[in-house]
Structure 1
Amino acid sequence: MRLSISKKISLSLILVLVLSIATMAWLTSRSLQAGFNTYLKEKQLIDLNKVALVLARYYSEHGDFSNLRHNPRVVRPLIDGALGRVPDPLQRDSRAEPEPDDEAPPALNSLRQNQERRPALRPPPPGTVRSPPPERAGEARPRAGILDLGPRLSLIDENGEAVFGPLRQGQATLQQAVIEDGKTVGIVLAPVPEFGFEKTTLEFIRNQMSHIVILALALILIAAFVSIWLGKHLVRPIASLRKTTQQIASGHLHARAEIVNQDEIGDLAQHINAMAKHLEQNELKRKKIMADLSHELRTPLTVMRAEVEAMIDGVRALNIESVRSLETEIRHLNKLVDDLHQLALADAGDLRFHFELIDVRDLLQQLGSRFQARMLQAQLSLHVDAPDLPVQLHADSSRLTQVIENLLENSLRYTDAGGRVLLRLSVEPGIVRICIEDSAPGLAEGMHHKMFDRLYREDQARSRVKGGSGLGLAICRSLILAHRGEIQASASALGGVKVTILLPSSETKPESSS
């Protein structure tokens, strides 16, 4: 089953939210149980303290707990009184009768004693049982607290013997010492409370848990809807990018992606648009190159065919001049094919280089001397401006010579008679600069960057009549780039074109390619 990105995002968010909400619900329930148990324990300790105080007073009055041993009918009223269920009999015993006033008349003291005297509740004598007050009809007995007699409360005397109750020391119990006159006379024991002991408590916890579960389910449903919406919202720009890339892959290079968000997806859309723009420009260049190349190949072939047909028809005599004309067209065609082959090698990275340490100053002076005679014949002056000291450079001597010869050939071919050509060498920190300038004619403003395009000619000054394939400067750029250098063209102060070559000095050695 193939899952879309939208479904993957939605399922991932739902899974994370479900785990988070379920964990939160579980922790909440555990915290609620633990907190409620802590509350029960604290309340139990308070009740144990009340029971211990009542038992301490009982011990103070009777001297021991022998009357309480295994006698629930005596124990229950004491425990109920300590927990506030019935009046404490020991508390009622603590009331003292008013003492007579010696200064008052005897009759007045007798009347006062009769009015203020209350029946005193005495502890039952040993062996007797005091019955609890009868319950009135229709009146509910006060509900027992968390402490209850029987299985839940025990008393251990000072000798460690059980007085009542099933619990013993050493078990998991709550303990409260019974202290009389600073002496521990017994220990009251109660089990550690749990919320499941009482029906009402258990019902409360169940209600709270059901509320938590219902809330968790509601949150999960809301999170699911939000996750699905968010997944579709996040994937919507990706769907637009997919549509654009499909159009580009189908050959519609003019297609552009819509930039909706200023985030990573927006950056991706910008990169796709830049890629489409470059592809479109490259396609236009390819079509132009193919058109120009077909024209460059067709022209010499047409000339050669016309001359051969003229000689066959007897219009033109077969002599040395006609043969030389054919040879010129063949040479031009051969140079065009050679240049195309070099460009193909450069594009494929298969051009061979042999880098070594050479003296650029000596190389330029040799080239200047070689072109001097041809420059004079074309009524041009060539001047070489180079430092007095040698300039060392890691370069391929033959490839660098090919670049300089091509540039000097262009100046010789296109500079008007009576003009000047300047070949200058200078050294800067980390850079060797070679400049070739000529006089008029120049190029139109804004056209200099096109000089290195393949098969480019400027109609007024770079026509095919003066020779050249239109690929020489493109080859020069490939060779300079292989030297990790730069080549650029601009307007010359002499009125023509200035070509500047920047090469790294001998401190940076290009990688040799063989």
Structure 2
Amino acid sequence: MFYSLRTKLFLSILFINTLLIATVLWLNSTSFNQNFADYVNKQEARRLQPLLESLAAYNQRNQGWQALQNNPKQWVALINLSYPTLMNDRRRFSPRPPYLERLLLKSEQGELIVGREDPNKRFVWVPITNDASDTLGYIGYQPNERLDAQVDNIFRAQYKEQIRWIAVALLITSAVFAIFISGVIARPLRKVSTALAEMAAGNYHQTITHNSQDELGQLAQDVKQLADTLQENQKSRSQWVTDIAHELRTPIAVLLADIESAQDGIRETNEDWLKSLQWQAERMGRLVNDLNELSGSEVGALQYKKAPVDLKQLMFASLEQYSSRLNESNIKLSMSTKGKNFLAFIDEQRIEQLFSNLMQNTLRYTDSPGQLSLQLLEQDSMLLLTWSDSSPGVAETEFPKLFDRLYRVDSSRNRKTGGSGLGLAIVKNIVHAHQGTVVAKSSELGGVTIELTLPKAIQE
């Protein structure tokens, strides 16, 4: 529990706040002591102002302090002169006579004139100045022997006691807020941690609700999206395995049924029977080959050997070998190009495979007689290839699914044509591995148009 994130956040916030509170209190205490000392000095200087004026006048009359040395009567006379009410009503005068009697007098050079300075006691010195602000000497007094020194000490003690209670209150408040803030931060993280643990256990159905717009909210959304993606991939994988098993089960069942019939003597083992077996075996072989090609196309761009290749020449050379099959299927081919630079940064063998898959798709699913139109043109930093064939067409809702594995459109794509439903999925993987795009839409010829882009090679 001590090593939990919430505990660490709580201790971190509390430590920082404690450090800040201690720093503020230390600065406040230092500032208070200095300001309080200045305040006391100013008050004492105001209290001693009558004596300071009398001493300044005395210094000017006698041209110095010589007459006061070893003359306590004269010193007392100056005090009485400065405070005429002292002898009449001492209760109305705040400084006590002993306090005044313990005052010290120094010359401007620091020579002691009146009194005896105790080195073990602290004295505060107030300057004596004339009208020209020239320093004539200094009056010294002991702060702790002032009449209100005890009051000052009580005030200082009460102030420090209040500061300590304020510090305690701030620490308690800081701890409460630290608990709240650490809980606010740790709560969504606990939800994310729980969701990740569930996902690791195979439960991808997670609902994480955190509506804040900060990084924690973004993290919760990302984990939710990850859970949805994994759940969708799990469904897709399950469907993928089911579809493969179904695709293989049909020809295998036909082969086994034919072989068992021949073994039982029900079916004659003639040439037509052998051709049927061969067709079923070839169909399974094509499916296995397509699965292998799909797996290879999904390895990623790291397995692709890309180089600058003239896409126009590659397209003409790749499709030239299909001219006889197009004639047999009575499909008219037309190719056009627009631009000057058709140098693409591609893997030549993968793009040949792409052309082959698109052509196989057209030969299987285009009615005879039919048309096939190819257009290659420049488009900024990409090359755009448009592959359009004639009827039959595909419903608008089916276009996004044409590139899914093993997907067939019921009206035009069926198992009798021998297609595995993997050709366009391989095309999509090859295009994406080249950082290109591929989409399907309706063709003006009545069939399907495949538009794909491939990156142009950067010319030095």
TM-score interval for Structure 1 and Structure 2 normalised by the shorter chain: 0.7 to 0.9
1:265 aligned to 2:216?
Answer: yes
Counterpart of 2:40? 40
Q: What secondary structure, in the 3-state scheme, does the structure 1 residue paired with 2:218 have?
A: helix
Counterpart of 2:376? 425
Distance 1:226 1:418, change over 3 A: same
Distance 1:260 1:64, change over 3 A: closer
Counterpart of 2:390? 439
1:343 aligned to 2:294?
Answer: yes
Q: What secondary structure, in the 3-state scheme, does the structure 1 residue paired with 2:394 have?
A: coil
Counterpart of 1:374? 325
1:467 aligned to 2:418?
Answer: yes
Superposition deviation, residue 198 in structure 1: 2.9
Distance 1:62 1:276, change over 3 A: closer
Q: Deviations over 1:196-219 (max 9, x none)?
A: 993332222112111211222122
Q: Deviations over 1:121-160 (max 9, x none)?
A: xxxxxxxxxxx67x8xxx858442799345432244x998
Distance 1:80 1:492, change over 3 A: farther
1:187 pairs with one of 123, 130, 137: 137
2:271 pairs with one of 317, 320, 330: 320
CA distance in structure 1 between the aligned counterparts of 2:356 and 2:136, rounded to whole angstroms: 119
The more displaced of 65-74 and 31-40 is 65-74
Counterpart of 2:5? 5
Distance 1:13 1:161, change over 3 A: closer
Counterpart of 2:21? 21
The more displaced of 254-263 and 343-352 is 343-352
Q: Which amino acid aligns with 1:485?
A: G
The more displaced of 4-13 and 46-55 is 46-55
CA distance in structure 2 between the aligned counterparts of 1:283 and 1:433, rounded to whole angstroms: 34
CA distance in structure 2 between the aligned counterparts of 1:186 and 1:12, rounded to whole angstroms: 59
Distance 1:185 1:400, change over 3 A: closer
1:231 pairs with one of 167, 182, 185: 182
CA distance in structure 2 between the aligned counterparts of 1:388 and 1:242, rounded to whole angstroms: 55
Q: Which amino acid aligns with 1:190?
A: G
Superposition deviation, residue 63 in structure 1: 7.8
**Preserved CA contact (<8 Å) 1:36 1:195:** no
CA distance in structure 2 between the aligned counterparts of 1:40 and 1:146, rounded to whole angstroms: 19
Distance 1:309 1:23, change over 3 A: same
**Preserved CA contact (<8 Å) 1:40 1:194:** no
CA distance in structure 1 between the aligned counterparts of 2:60 and 2:319, rounded to whole angstroms: 132
Counterparts of 1:55-454 in structure 2, within 5 Å, are 55-58=55-58, 68-83=68-83, 85-86=85-86, 142-144=93-95, 148-156=99-107, 162-167=112-117, 174=125, 176-177=127-128, 187-190=137-140, 198-349=149-300, 352-386=303-337, 391-454=342-405
CA RMSD for the aligned pairs? 3.4
Q: Which amino acid aligns with 2:421?
A: G
Identity %: 29
* Residue-pair matches, total: 456
Q: Deviations over 1:320-356 (max 9, x none)?
A: 3322222222222122112222222333338854434
CA distance in structure 1 between the aligned counterparts of 2:402 and 2:91, rounded to whole angstroms: 111
Q: Which amino acid aligns with 1:273?
A: K
Distance 1:179 1:2, change over 3 A: closer
Counterpart of 1:490? 441
**Preserved CA contact (<8 Å) 1:360 1:390:** no
Superposition deviation, residue 441 in structure 1: 0.8
Counterpart of 1:114? none
Q: Which amino acid aligns with 2:29?
A: S
Q: Deviations over 1:177-231 (max 9, x none)?
A: 4769x99896243158579993332222112111211222122222222322332
Superposition deviation, residue 491 in structure 1: 0.9
Q: Deviations over 1:343-395 (max 9, x none)?
A: 22333338854434433333333344322322222232222223596733333
Superposition deviation, residue 175 in structure 1: 5.0
Q: What secondary structure, in the 3-state scheme, does the structure 1 residue paired with 2:99 have?
A: coil
Superposition deviation, residue 83 in structure 1: 4.4
Superposition deviation, residue 502 in structure 1: 0.9
**Preserved CA contact (<8 Å) 1:6 1:231:** yes
CA distance in structure 2 between the aligned counterparts of 1:22 and 1:76, rounded to whole angstroms: 50
Distance 1:287 1:178, change over 3 A: closer
Q: Which amino acid aligns with 2:114?
A: F
**Preserved CA contact (<8 Å) 2:341 2:378:** no
Q: Which amino acid aligns with 2:377?
A: S
Q: What secondary structure, in the 3-state scheme, does the structure 2 residue paired with 1:348 have?
A: coil
CA distance in structure 1 between the aligned counterparts of 2:142 and 2:104, rounded to whole angstroms: 11
Distance 1:378 1:200, change over 3 A: same
Counterpart of 1:106? none
**Preserved CA contact (<8 Å) 2:384 2:453:** yes
**TM-score relative to the length of structure 1:** 0.78
**TM-score relative to the length of structure 2:** 0.87
Distance 1:61 1:315, change over 3 A: closer
**Preserved CA contact (<8 Å) 2:431 2:438:** yes
Gap regions ≥5 residues in structure 1? 87-131, 510-514
Q: What secondary structure, in the 3-state scheme, does the structure 2 residue paired with 1:148 have?
A: helix
Q: Which amino acid aligns with 1:235?
A: A
**Preserved CA contact (<8 Å) 2:290 2:423:** yes
Distance 1:499 1:74, change over 3 A: same
Distance 1:393 1:267, change over 3 A: closer
CA distance in structure 2 between the aligned counterparts of 1:297 and 1:438, rounded to whole angstroms: 30
Q: What secondary structure, in the 3-state scheme, does the structure 2 residue paired with 1:446 have?
A: helix
Q: Which amino acid aligns with 1:28?
A: N
CA distance in structure 2 between the aligned counterparts of 1:58 and 1:480, rounded to whole angstroms: 108
Q: Deviations over 1:14-38 (max 9, x none)?
A: 2222222222222222222211211
The more displaced of 377-386 and 408-417 is 377-386
Counterpart of 1:129? none
The more displaced of 244-253 and 27-36 is 244-253
Superposition deviation, residue 270 in structure 1: 1.5
**Preserved CA contact (<8 Å) 2:104 2:113:** no
Q: What secondary structure, in the 3-state scheme, does the structure 1 residue paired with 2:457 have?
A: coil
CA distance in structure 1 between the aligned counterparts of 2:133 and 2:331, rounded to whole angstroms: 130
Report which of the two has the higher share of helix.
2
